[in-house]
Amino acid sequence: MKRSHTLRTAFAAILISAAFQVLAAGTAGAAVAGEKIPDVTLGIVYYTSPSPNEEIIPDTIRALEKRIGKRHLRVKEYTLEQLRDAIKSGDVDVFLASSGFYRRMVQYGASSLATVASKNYPDPNHSDGAALIVRNDSGIRTLYDAKGSVLGASSPTAFTGYQLALGEVLRQGFDPESFFKKTNFYGGGPGAVSILDALRRKDVDIITLRICWLEGWLKKHPEDKGLFRVIDQRDENEPCQRSTDLYPTWTIGTSANTPPEISKIVTSAVLEMPPTKDGFYWSIATDFRSVDALFKGLKIGPYRYLREWSLSRFIMTYWSAILIGILLVLGLILHSVRTEVLVKRRTAQLQESLRIQKEYEEKSREDAAKISFMEKMGIIGQLCSVFAHEMRQPLGAISLYAQGMKSLIKRGKASESQMEMALGKLETQAERASDIVERVRAYARAKDIDRKPISLNDVVTRSLAGYRSASGSRVRFKRTDANPVTLFADQLEMELVSYNLIKNAAEAVKDQPDGMVEIIIASNPGKALLAVSDNGPALTPEQLAEIENPSGTLKSSKHEGIGLGLLIVKAIVERNGGRLSIENGSVRGVTIYVHLPTADGGDKTPADESAQGNEKDPAGPAEDFVKAETAADSKKETGSQGTGDLN
C-alpha cells in the first residue's frame, strides 16, 4: 500500500509539472503573439527553371512564414533589373538571388545572410558553376574549338547562365567579347529547356547551363542520353559535370534599409531549416572574392567603370608605369643636356682639329707645289742637257751651210739656186732648233702634264737614235718589239725616261769589247713593259737598298753623265701611272723594268697600277711578257761584261 501511495504521489507531481509547463508555454505564446511583428518583403529573382536549387525555395518560404507569420511575409518575383531597382529603392527587405547578383548589389548597401550548400557541394564558398554543352556529334572538343561559334545562354546578366561561361573564356586567354560569333539569349523561367532545344535543333553550336542541370534533365528524360556532351570537364569524380571554376551559389541578402531584427529573424530561421530531400540547405559563405575577380576580369557589375577611361582612373591604374615614364623622361632630359654639352665640347675640338688639318693640308699643298716645282726644274735642267746634242745638229748644220755659202761667195761660184737651197736648209735647221727650245719652254710653263696617246715604240726609236747620234757609241743594241704599244702619257717625259735608261745601260758597258744593251717592248691588255738590260756586273745590296728607298737624288758617278738620278726617273714613271723595278741577273748584268698602263687600260687608274707593289716580274700571263723577260734573263746568263753604274 505504501508503495502504491508513493507511486500515486509521484504521478501526481508529474501531472502538476506538465500542467505548469503547458501553462508557461501558453503564457509565452500569448506574449509572443502579443508583440508587434513587422512586415517583411522577400524578393526572389526570376531564375531559370528547372533549377537544381529551386526545391529549397518553398521550404525557405514556409520557414519564414512559420517564424514571422503568413500575414507579415510578402513574397514577390522580380527580373534581375526589377529586383535591382527594388533593392536600391528599399522596396524589399530580403532577397534571394545568385551570388553574382548579390555582389553587384553590395555597392547599394546589400549584405549577405546565408548561402545555399548541398550534400554534393558542402562548401558554400565553392558550390556553383556552369557546364559548356555541345551535341555529341559536334566537332567541338575543347573551348578552343568553339571560337567563332554561336552560343546559347539565358540572359546577358545571368551569373551561372552566361557570365561564368565568359569567365572561362577569359581564363583560357581569349577575348570574351569577340570569342563567340554570336550569342542567342532565351530568357529566364523555363528558358533552360529552350536553350537545350536550340542546341538539339542546331540553332546554336554550344550552350551554357548551371551545373547539375543536365544530370537532372537526363534523369527525367533518359531518351536524351548520349545526345549531349560537356566539354572541358574539370573533375570527373564530382557528382556533376562542369566546365568552369566553382563559386558561391544562391544567397539570401538584405537591403541597406532592412532593420537588424529582421536580418536576425531571417538568418536564424533559414539556418535552422533541415536539408531538403535532395540535400540542399542554408549555410554561411565567407569568401566572395572569386565572384569579384570574375566581374573585374569581365569589367562588369561593380567593375563596369573599367570600361570607361578617365584621368583619375588612368593615373590610379598605371601610376607605377607613369612614375617610371616620368623618371625616364627626366633621365632623357638630363642625358640630352649632358649630350648637348658634350657635343658642343666635341664640336669645338673637331673645329680646332679641322683648323689644324686645314693648316696641314695647306702646308702640304705648298710643300707639294714646291716639290713639284723643284722636280720640274730638275727635269728641265736635265732636258737642257739631254737635248743639247739635238741642238748641236741644227746649229752644226747651220754653221756648215753658212761656211759653205761664204766659201762659194768668196770664190764667186755661188749661183742663185745654190744660195736658195742653202738658205732653205738654214731656215729648216733654225726651225728645228726653235722647236727644240719651244718644247722645253712649253714643258716649263705647263701647270699640268699634257698626257695623250703616244707610241712607246716611237719613243724608244727616237731616244735610241738620239743617243747613237749624240754619243757615237759602238755599243751593240738588240731590240725586241713584241707588238705595238700605245701609252697615255707625256711624250717628252717618256723620251726622257727611255733616253736616260738607254744611256745609262750603254755607258755601263761602253768600255767592254762585247758590251751589249738589250731593249724589249711588250704588252698585254692594259699593261705595257719597257725592259732595258746590260751585261755588266750586278748591283751591290747597298745600291739596291738605296734604289728601293732613296734618301735623295742619286747622282751619277761619271763625269760625263747628265746627272738625272733614278729618283726623278721613278717620279716620272709613277706620275704617269706606272712603276719602276730593278733586279740583278742570275750571273751578272742589271735589268730595269718600267711597267706602264696602256692607253686601253680599261677601268684601272694609275693609282690602281701603282698600288700593286714593286713586283720584280711583269704582272699577267701574256705571252709577250714571258718572251720579253725570258730574252732578258737569257742574255744575263751569257756572262757578258759591263758596269753597274745606273746614272
Chain segment 3-19, per-residue pLDDT in tens:
344 334 433 444 434 43
pLDDT value for 49: 65
Under 8 Å between Cβ of 110 and 102 = yes
What is the C-alpha to C-alpha distance for residues 451 and 366, in angstroms, rounded to an integer? 24
CB count within 10 Å of CB 76 equals: 14
Under 8 Å between Cβ of 482 and 628 = yes
The pTM (predicted TM-score) of the whole model is: 0.47
Bridge partners of 74, per DSSP, are 41
- Residue 1: how many CA atoms within 13 Å on its side-chain side? 0
Give the pLDDT mean for 203-216. 92
Q: Where are the beta strands (DSSP E) in 248-402?
A: 251-254, 280-283
- 323-379 pLDDT, tens digit per residue, is 899 999 999 999 999 999 999 999 999 999 999 988 888 887 877 776 666 666 666
Res 464 pLDDT > 90: no
- What is the band of 140 on the pLDDT scale with cuts at 50, 70, 90? very high
Res 130 pLDDT > 80: yes
* 503 closest CA partner among 466, 530, 536: 466
3-state secondary structure of 325: helix
Helix axes 491-509, 456-471, angle to 10 degrees: 50
Q: Which three cell numbers stand for residue 418?
A: 745654190
pLDDT value for 334: 92
* 463 closest CA partner among 518, 500, 428, 422: 500
Who wins on pLDDT, 111 or 571?
111
Residues in the chain: 647
Q: What is the DSSP letter of 163?
A: I
- What is the band of 264 on the pLDDT scale with cuts at 50, 70, 90? very high
Distances (CA, A) of 633 to 518, 584, 587, 645: 11, 10, 9, 19
pLDDT value for 514: 83
pLDDT value for 20: 38
